[in-house]
Amino acid sequence: MAKRDYYEVLGLEKGVDEQAIKRAYRKLAMQYHPDKNPGNKEAEEKFKEINEAYEVLSDANKRTRYDQFGHAGVGGNGDGGFEGYSGYGGFDDIFGDIFDMFGGGFSGGRRRNGPQKGADLKYELGITFEEAAFGVEKDINVSRHESCNTCSGTGAKPGTSKKTCSKCNGSGEVRYAQRTPLGQFVNVKTCDVCHGEGSITETPCKDCGGTGKVMKDKKIHIKIPAGVDTGSVIPLRGQGEPGIKGGPTGDLYIVLRVKPHEIFQRDGTDVICEMPITFVQAALGDELVVPTLDGRIKYKIPEGTQSGTIFRMKGKGIPSLRGYGRGDHYVKVVVEIPKKLNDKQKELLKQFADEMGEDVHEQRKTFFDKVKDVFGI
């Protein structure tokens, strides 16, 4: 019988990349694997055909020869096919999904019921703008599992003890020998009686239900450094969930959320604030009392200050988280225009306008000169 085209066997078009070939192979290999189709000769033949096609198309040199000369370019039989498997790379990657599907692994593999690190915990903490800038110390309450005091963490009722699982003899694993086209493998599964624990609690502790752990609130003191911002994370090693079977305790991660400030905004280590001033202050200049993180500070602005002008107060911003000094404090002044004027005030302003004259409004004059140039009016 003539061999089918290898691309057709894997359901692919010519020109596909290596990942597409691997995905197609995995899907078909899992579908027609002999362990999933015991006694099905047709499935076994398809499985061999799939592996033969993959061995050629997954090898760049073989694939090139196959694309040019067809089956003749690879010896007419795919250089051995599945029966002639000779150890191409990525065995665990290719077959891992298949053996995971059957719940197994290779003999001598890593035990799954050994010591494991406890789960990590996350705690979101809100702090003020000033606390983020200068640092603060806080006490927080974290709910986490801890060893049960009643049974000392064994899970067994006081006065009783756990018994070794008779099915797995305390290993937590059950091994089955399986014969496959690849040879004989030892399929390792978690014991379904003790669920991988290796022991059985016949009389569980009433306080923890046999788990050996109870949920408790733990007060933890933390130090928040100066310069943190929203999204900053403070790791506390060993403050998470307890480990399993003697494994290390997990970690606690404090995620900070800085509350918005009523006056200040932040840009890195710089602080920005917008401050209203009167027309008279802008025109004549004045000594302002500026709010900063260090309190109120006097700052003199010159006469003729324009609305939107930004003044810099060096070193009055937020301390660097790395300890390299402080940012700056920027004050943006905004001239407030009175919305309600009495008759006397209006008259005084008109007299002021007459006194000033148009020729002194240099910016206004320049603007209208540009309008004339553009529109010719």
**Could you tell me which residues are annotated as the binding site for Zn(2+)?**
148, 151, 165, 168, 191, 194, 205, 208
For the annotated binding site, the residues are: 148, 151, 165, 168, 191, 194, 205, 208
**DSSP letter, residue 5:** P
Question: Rounded distance, CA 35 to CA 315, Å?
Answer: 72
> Cβ of 88: how many Cβ atoms within 10 Å?
12
Dihedral-angle region of residue 56 (phi above 0 means left; psi in -120 to 50 means alpha; beta otherwise):
alpha
> Cβ of 29: how many Cβ atoms within 10 Å?
20
Q: Could you tell me if 240 and 250 are in contact, meaning their C-beta atoms sit under 8 angstroms apart? A: yes
Residue with tokens 């928040």: 224
SS3 209: coil
Q: Where are the beta strands (DSSP E) in 129-198?
A: 136-147, 163-164, 173-180, 183-190
Q: Which of 172, 175, 208 is nearest to 191 (CA)?
A: 172
SS3 181: coil
Structure tokens that stand for 298 in this block: 């006097």
State which amino acid sits at residue 5. Answer: D
Dihedral-angle region of residue 78 (phi above 0 means left; psi in -120 to 50 means alpha; beta otherwise):
left
| Strand pairing category for 213-224 and 173-180 | unpaired
